[in-house]
Amino acid sequence: MNAINRLTAVISLASLLPLSALAAETGTVEVLHWWTSGGEAKAVETLKEQVKKDGFVWKDNAVAGGGGAAAMTVLKTRAISGNPPAAAQIKGPDIQDWGALGLLTDLDDVAKANNWDALLPAKVADIMKYDGNYVAVPVNIHRVNWLWINPQVFQKAGAKVPTTLDEFFVAADQLKAAGFVPLAHGGQPWQDSTVFEDLVLSILGPKGYHAAFVELDEKTLTSDKMVEVFTTLKRVGTYMDANRAGRDWNIAAAEVINGKAGMQIMGDWAKSEWTAAGKVAGKDYECVPFPGTQGSFAYNIDSLAMFKLKKEEDIKAQADLAKIALEPAFQTVFNQNKGSLPVRQDMDMSAFDACTQKSAVDFKDAEKGDGLQPSMAHNMATTLAVQGAIFDVVTNFLNNPSADPTKATAQLVSAIKSAK
């Protein structure tokens, strides 16, 4: 076949392709995220498959590690070079920062067509907007203040599920005496600060938590209660595995799943690991609010912020991604795999396990008062600079056996002032 005949054949073949196939050649949506653990990878696969089903190309850009810090480094490099992805996993105040740079696209047409204002809790919708316009789409709501328990390990140790901090330490002593690791933990700054913020929520209460991490109130940050938080954190650290340095959270979760450890303090994304291991909530594992935080809900919302694009077909693919992220079918499958709570308010929760159903009830109850609070450790309460300053103080304290709680409290205030 000569060159002309080959060209004619290619053109003829193209004319027979459906529009969806042609769109797939040009409509690409690149997504930068850090959903990389076993359960998280299954969750993001559901989003990828729906985008492909709609006739577009999904370009995956998964960056593991650091609770998203590594992914943000990649995003900043891409943005500076004028080549941002179509969507990136961005949370909380960071959405406002990216919006202020003029890099995010307006999603109001998609939002209006799909009734987002009615579907989303008001607090969630506000976080997704910049200057009154939607620029991001939420995919879930995580609860951070959970304690995960292996009931078989507790039974062997004769321990009781704790509801107070005093009961937590009693259980930890019993687990330790029975030869188990009382508290599985990964020694990374964001994990250390997850434990820290749960203690702040427990000891200072939701109003004190808000004053400390949202308002950055100096009186609260220097209070005797904050010294008590550091004192308690030091005690909690004595029940962690000594070999925790640098360990990823899912490796720590595996210690509880396989019966080596009794407890883990972690957000509800930890449930995705239990689910991936074939375990059943309420039978093989238990989820309870971190002791002393009953009635409070520290939230972490995963969202995809959408960047301005140039190609029309890529913009269509991006709009499709934004639309399907809030559709009931995706919300169900994604959150079942992720371990989180669907962000839509009209979801039938009967398809979810006991932990997620409990989370849904607690979210609505916390929403009525002061209990609903943004997670500091997960980019929801303050700037990355302030968060980084808190991380440094907390991690240095937790890894120094001779650290003084009073001095650590003073260091916390000083570090936050410098980071503002």
Mean pLDDT by 10 residues, the chain (420 residues): 40 40 68 85 87 94 81 90 93 91 96 95 94 96 97 98 98 98 96 98 98 97 98 97 89 96 96 90 95 96 95 95 93 88 93 94 94 94 93 96 96 95
Tokens 């200072």 belong to which residue?
Answer: 204
Alpha-carbon distance 125 to 343, whole Å? 10
Tokens (6 digits) for 220: 């609260």
User: What pLDDT is recorded for position 5?
Assistant: 46
Neighbour count for residue 315 (Cβ, 10 Å): 17
Q: Report the distance separating Cα 37 and Cα 53, nearest Å.
A: 24
Cβ–Cβ under 8 Å, residues 1 and 288:
no
Mind listing the pLDDT tens digit for each residue in 5-43?
A: 443 343 333 344 444 444 446 699 999 998 887 778 888
Residue 39's pLDDT is 73
Let me know: does 21 contact 57? Beta carbons within 8 Å.
no
Phi-psi domain of 57 (left: phi exceeds 0; alpha: psi -120 through 50; beta: other): beta
Domains of the chain: 19-141+300-354 (3.40.190.10), 143-299+363-419 (3.40.190.10)
Overall pTM surpassing 0.75 (yes/no): yes
* pLDDT, position 10: 33
Return the pLDDT at 315: 95
